[in-house]
């Protein structure tokens, strides 16, 4: 779960499940350190866990079109698997523009970007990766040696060695096109961070590189985008919610090649585990805050 201490905790303010503060009824959901406060009059969830001098409030389409108030210093944008050669990422190209817009707005407001992507190692192949994943990524379902970390050969008219399929450090495992350029820029700025994963979820198991960074950075609120909506994005969002992070799906920076009902399943479940929003709801608020 997220870090266990937050500024501004007050026993008199948060210990009672229903309190009246300045004439507004607030309901607390959570425990002493990790909690939401719902303003029942405005249907606004305060996710700041004690307040933030730079708090920002966004509209959403979840929980009765509720709004959420976040602490920018404890928030991050998580981008899943938008990689050059991810065989399921093609449909995600339409999400590139909105994703770049989100990245720029988040950076401008002091929020971090986490790039979470397949990055398989030889150790993973020998000890951790399941038969199901090997089969799923096999180019030839009737032969060995065509799955994860198999050589992909040269691409772009033989000018680039694509390297081993979704293997850590390979060209094909890098972020796609302008997203990779944006990542390099953010890395130089100190706003962007890269994390390999070896399963559908970037938060699967007791501790992953992403979760270690979240804990060390004190980040508690996560906005999600990437591919596939119903697979790696959903898997990471689900674990995010289970582990106590605020989980917000940004629909127009998510994509999938699966049938529409798969996306509807994710949306249905996110109404119970987090919030749903889009760049049309988020960006005007962030740019307005930036100009104040």
- Residue 92's pLDDT is what? 67
Q: Are residues 78 and 68 in the same domain?
A: no
How many structural domains compose the chain? Answer: 3
- Residue 182's pLDDT is what? 97
Q: Are residues 87 and 110 in the same domain?
A: yes
Stretches in the chain below the pLDDT threshold 70: 1-24, 86-92, 292
Q: Are residues 202 and 247 in the same domain?
A: yes
- Residue 30's pLDDT is what? 95
pTM of the predicted structure, to 2 decimals: 0.90
Token couple for 100: 């770049």
What is the distance between the alpha carbons of residues 289 and 292, in angstroms, rounded to a whole number?
5
- Residue 89's pLDDT is what? 52
- Residue 244's pLDDT is what? 97
Q: Are residues 24 and 160 in the same domain?
A: no
Q: Is residue 6 part of a domain?
A: no
- Residue 51's pLDDT is what? 87
- Residue 86's pLDDT is what? 57
Q: Are residues 49 and 193 in the same domain?
A: no
Q: Are residues 207 and 136 in the same domain?
A: no
With beta carbons less than 8 A apart as the criterion, state whether 149 and 166 touch: yes
Q: Is residue 186 part of a domain?
A: yes
- Residue 17's pLDDT is what? 47
Q: Are residues 183 and 230 in the same domain?
A: yes
Q: Are residues 47 and 143 in the same domain?
A: no
- Residue 12's pLDDT is what? 43
Q: Are residues 86 and 230 in the same domain?
A: yes
Per the structure, the complete domain to which residue 260 belongs is given by 74-120+167-291
Q: Is residue 1 part of a domain?
A: no
Q: Are residues 136 and 278 in the same domain?
A: no
Q: Is residue 207 part of a domain?
A: yes
Handedness of CA 225, 47, 113, 72 (dihedral sign): positive
- Residue 19's pLDDT is what? 52
């Amino acid at each position: 779960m997220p870090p266990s201490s937050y500024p501004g905790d007050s026993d008199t303010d948060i210990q009672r499940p229903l309190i009246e503060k300045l004439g507004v009824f607030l309901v607390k959901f959570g425990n002493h350190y990790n909690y939401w406060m719902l303003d029942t009059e405005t249907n606004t969830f305060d996710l700041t866990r004690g307040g933030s001098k730079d708090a920002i409030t966004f509209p959403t389409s979840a929980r009765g079109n509720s709004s959420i108030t976040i602490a920018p210093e404890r928030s991050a944008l998580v981008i899943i698997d938008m990689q050059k050669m991810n065989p399921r990422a093609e449909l995600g190209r339409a999400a590139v523009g909105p994703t770049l817009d989100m990245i720029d707005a988040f950076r401008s407001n002091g929020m971090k970007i986490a790039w979470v992507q397949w990055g398989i190692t030889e150790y993973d192949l020998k000890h951790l990766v399941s038969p199901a994943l090997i089969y799923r990524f096999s180019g030839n379902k009737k032969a060995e040696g065509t799955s994860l970390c198999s050589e992909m050969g040269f691409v772009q008219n033989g000018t680039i060695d694509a390297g081993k399929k979704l293997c850590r450090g390979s060209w094909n495992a890098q972020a796609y096109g302008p997203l990779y350029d944006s990542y390099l820029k953010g890395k130089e700025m100190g706003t962007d961070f890269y994390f390999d994963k070896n399963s559908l979820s970037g938060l699967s198991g007791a501790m992953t590189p992403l979760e270690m960074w979240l804990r060390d950075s004190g980040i508690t609120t996560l906005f999600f985008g990437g591919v596939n909506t119903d697979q790696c994005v959903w898997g990471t969002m689900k674990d995010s919610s289970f582990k106590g992070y605020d989980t917000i799906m940004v629909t127009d920076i998510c994509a999938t090649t699966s049938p529409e009902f798969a996306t509807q399943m994710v949306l249905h479940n996110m109404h119970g585990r987090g919030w749903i929003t889009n760049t049309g709801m988020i960006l005007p608020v962030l740019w307005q805050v930036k100009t104040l």
